[in-house]
Amino acid sequence: MDGLRNNGALPAVRTLRLEDDGCFPNSRLPVLIYPGAFDPSRPDLAEMAGRRLTANGWPAAWIDGVYPFHHYHSTAHEALVGLAGWAEVQLGGPAGPVERLSPGDLWVLPAGVAHCAVASGAGLLVLGAYPEGQEWDLCRGLPGERPAADARIAAVPLPAGDPLAGPAGPLVRWWRAAG
C-alpha cells in the first residue's frame, strides 16, 4: 500500500487564493490543501510521506514545527505534511485565514505566501519539502524586503509535478491555469 488514504485515491483538493496585502506578496497561484492525503495511523508516516514527495520531485528537507511568526519564502515553493499534533496556521499575513494542519494533511504553498503558526499542540511535527533545485530563504515582511523579494518570486519556476501525484497531479492543472 502506498500510504494514501481511500485505497490510494487522491483526496479532493481545496484551494485558497491570497492577495498581496501590502506587506506580504502572497501569490497569484493558489495554496493547495489536500486534507487527509496520507494515512496518519501509519507508524512510518514520515518516511512514507518523504519517499512519496521525493519520488515526485519534492525532496523531503526537514521535520520540525511551523515558525510562530509571519514569514514567506521568495525563492521556493513549499510542501508541508502534518506528521503529529496539530497547528493552526494563519495564511497570507495577519489578516489572512487560519487553517488547521493535522496529521496526514498535505499543503502546498506557492513562493511568496505568508504563513505563521498561531497555535499548536500535541507534539506538532511537520515534514517540509521543496521542488528539486529550489533552495528556500526566509522573508518576514520587513521594510526594504520588497521589491527584491517580488523579483525573486517572479523567477521561481513552476515545479515539474505535484508532490503527491507527480506530473499529472492537481498542482500542475491549478498552477498552470493561474499562471
Over range 14-30, report the average pLDDT.
Answer: 97
CATH superfamily assigned to domain 6-160: Jelly Rolls (2.60.120.10)
CA pair distance 165, 12, nearest whole angstrom: 12
How far from 114 is each of 51, 95, 138, 140, 160, CA to CA, in Å?
A: 26, 11, 10, 8, 23
**What confidence category does residue 1 fall into, taking pLDDT thresholds of 50, 70 and 90?**
very low
pLDDT at res. 53: 98
- The values of phi and psi at residue 91, to 5°, are -110, 140
- Boundaries of every domain in the chain: 6-160
Helix and strand totals (H; E) in the chain:
3, 7
CA pair distance 160, 137, nearest whole angstrom: 20
Tell me which amino acid residue 165 is: A
pLDDT at res. 179: 72
pLDDT, tens digit, for every residue of 120-178? 998 999 999 999 999 999 999 999 999 999 999 999 999 999 999 999 999 999 999 98
**What confidence category does residue 5 fall into, taking pLDDT thresholds of 50, 70 and 90?**
low
Lowest mean pLDDT: which of 7-11, 14-18, 29-33?
A: 7-11
- Dihedral sign for Cα atoms in the order 15, 67, 124, 84: positive
Q: What kind and span of H or E run contains 46?
A: helix 45-55
pLDDT at res. 10: 74
In this structure, what is the dihedral angle of CA atoms 101, 7, 168, 170, given to the nearest 10 degrees?
Answer: -30
